[in-house]
Amino acid sequence: MYPEYHREITEALLMDARFLVEGEPEFTCLRENLDFYQQFFEASFGLSLLCQSDYAFLQSARDNDTLSRDICIFLGVLCYEVDREGKNIMEELSFSTFAYEDVERLLELSSFREVLEATKSLRDAPSRRNFYHLLARRRLIDKIDDEAFRFTPGHKYFLEFARGVVQEMGERETGDGLSVGGVQTEVTDHSEILKHDPGDKHGVEE
C-alpha cells in the first residue's frame, strides 16, 4: 500500500531532516511517488516537499534558520575562495573532492575571516569540525574518509539561493550602476563593506 521505501523516506526527510539525493534508492522511490509524498507531508505535517532533479528535502516553516545561515556563510566564503584560486565554482562543487586541510587553509586565510569568526559554528577549527559532521548528517556533504569530503547535489539549493539574491538585487537597484544578470560584481573589496557595517556581528544567533 505504501511505496517500498516509505519508512526510510519519512525517517530521512522528517526525523533526520536530511537531503535525499540522486543515487539513493529512497530518492528514486520518492520521485516515482512525488504526488503522493507532496500530499502526504503537507497533509500530515504541514511541510512542503521540495524535490528537484537530483535532490529533495522538506522545507521547514522557519524563516530564520541558523543552520541555513551558517551554510550560506560557509558556502559563500568557500565559493569566493575557489573562484579566487581561478577554479570554476560549479564544477568544483559538483565534481571535486575537498580535503579538510585545504578547506581549513582557505578559510583561515580568507579575507572573510571576520565573518567566519562572528559565526559561532565556523569561528575556529574545532567548531568547524562539528559543523562538517552536521553537514554530513544532513547529507549536504559525503565524507569520503577522514581526510576529504564531497558535496552532494544538495549544495545546488544554496547556489540557487545566491543566484536569487543577485536577481533580486538587480531588480531593486537597476539604474543604480548595477545591471541585471549577475555580471555587475564590481563589489570585490568586501573588507571595506564590512568595516562600514560593524553592526552585522551583533546579529549572531544561536
Partner 1 sequence: MILKADPDKVLRFLVENFELVRSLYLAQLEGNVISREQFNALTKHTGDISINRLFEYKLLSEQYEDIRLNDPVRAFLAFLISEFKPLLPSELEKYRTSFVELFTAVQECPEGEQPILLEQLQALYDEVQRFLENVENNTGQLLRETQHLKANKDKMEYGERIRRARHLIEYYITPLNNILDLQHSESIASLLGQISAYANRERLVHGYQLARDRFGQLHELLRGGNERILRQSRILSRELLPLIERLQTESEILSGWLFFLERPFRHEVPSFTTRSYRNFFGSSTGANVALFMEQFIQRVEAVILQEEEITAVDRHEVLFDRQLYVESLQEQLPVHDFFEWCRERLYQNEQRPSTERFLKICSIVFEDSEKYETEFTGRRIEIELEDFVFHVPEVKVSSKTKKDDVP
Contact residues for partner 1, defined by CB under 8 A: 13-19, 45, 57-65, 67-69, 71-73, 75-77, 79-80, 83, 86-90, 112, 115, 118-119, 138, 157-159, 161-167, 169, 181-188, 190, 193-194, 197, 200-205
Q: Give the nearest distance from C-beta 33 to partner 1 in angstroms.
A: 19
Residues whose CB is less than 8 angstroms from the CB of residue 89 and which lie 6 or more positions away in sequence, other chains included: 79, 82, 83, 159
Cβ distance 118 to 175 under 8 Å? Answer: no
Provide the CA 138 distance to its chain's centre, in angstroms.
Answer: 10
Q: Give the nearest distance from C-beta 147 to partner 1 in angstroms.
A: 26
Query: Alpha-carbon torsion 105, 156, 189, 68, what sign?
Result: negative
For residue 25, give the nearest of 40, 8, 38 by alpha carbon.
Answer: 8
Closer to partner 1 by Cβ: residue 23 or 182: 182
Say how far apart CA 103 and CA 45 lie, in whole Å.
38
Q: Give the nearest distance from C-beta 145 to partner 1 in angstroms.
A: 26
For residue 113, give the nearest of 31, 57, 14, 190 by alpha carbon.
Answer: 190
Closer to partner 1 by Cβ: residue 29 or 79: 79
Closer to partner 1 by Cβ: residue 99 or 183: 183
Q: Give the nearest distance from C-beta 121 to partner 1 in angstroms.
A: 13
Closer to partner 1 by Cβ: residue 146 or 185: 185
Closer to partner 1 by Cβ: residue 147 or 179: 179
Q: Please name the residue that has the C-alpha cell 556581528.
A: 201
Closer to partner 1 by Cβ: residue 14 or 106: 14
C-alpha cell at 137: 548528517
What is the per-residue DSSP string for 22-66? TTSHHHHHHHHTHHHHHHHHHHHH--EEEE-SSEEEEEPS-SS-H
